[in-house]
């Protein structure tokens, strides 16, 4: 039995803890309520209301959230 915890990030390049949203099995499903709320908040904070759209997929919402978070870290 291994002592490593699969929920703890590691430096293994083959780790699947962080997948590209385009590789998600459920990436083409509608974004979750939590994603919608967070994306709406971030788009308002970034003064980019066009970043929010109600018909986004989970993967699209995730990418937009990541982009807005990077932008707001200035």
Asked whether residue 14 is assigned to any structural domain, the reply reads no
In a domain, 38, yes or no: yes
Would residue 39 count as lying in a domain? yes
pLDDT at 4: 60
Range of the domain at 50: 27-72
Asked whether residue 33 is assigned to any structural domain, the reply reads yes
Q: Dump pLDDT digits (tens) for 5-52.
A: 655 555 665 555 667 777 777 768 999 999 999 999 999 999 999 999
**Considering the entire predicted model, what is its pTM?**
0.70
User: Does residue 19 fall inside a structural domain?
Assistant: no
Indicate whether 12 belongs to any domain.
no
pLDDT at 39: 97
Q: Which residues contact 64 (CB under 8 A, 6 or more apart)?
A: 39, 43, 51, 52, 56
Residue 6 lies in a domain: no
Q: Considering the domain boundaries, does residue 8 fall inside one?
A: no
Closest listed residue to residue 7, CA positions, set 15, 47, 29 = 15
Q: Quote the number of domains for the chain.
A: 1
Residue 31 sits at φ, ψ, to 5 deg, of -60, 155
pLDDT grade for 3, boundaries at 50, 70 and 90: low
């Amino acid at each position: 039995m291994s002592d490593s915890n699969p929920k703890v990030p590691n430096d293994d390049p083959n780790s699947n803890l962080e997948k590209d949203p385009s590789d998600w099995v459920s990436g083409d499903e509608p974004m979750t309520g939590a994603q919608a709320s967070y994306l709406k908040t971030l788009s308002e904070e970034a003064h980019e209301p066009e970043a929010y759209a109600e018909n986004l997929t989970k993967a699209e919402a995730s990418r937009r959230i990541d982009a807005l978070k990077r932008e707001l870290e200035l």
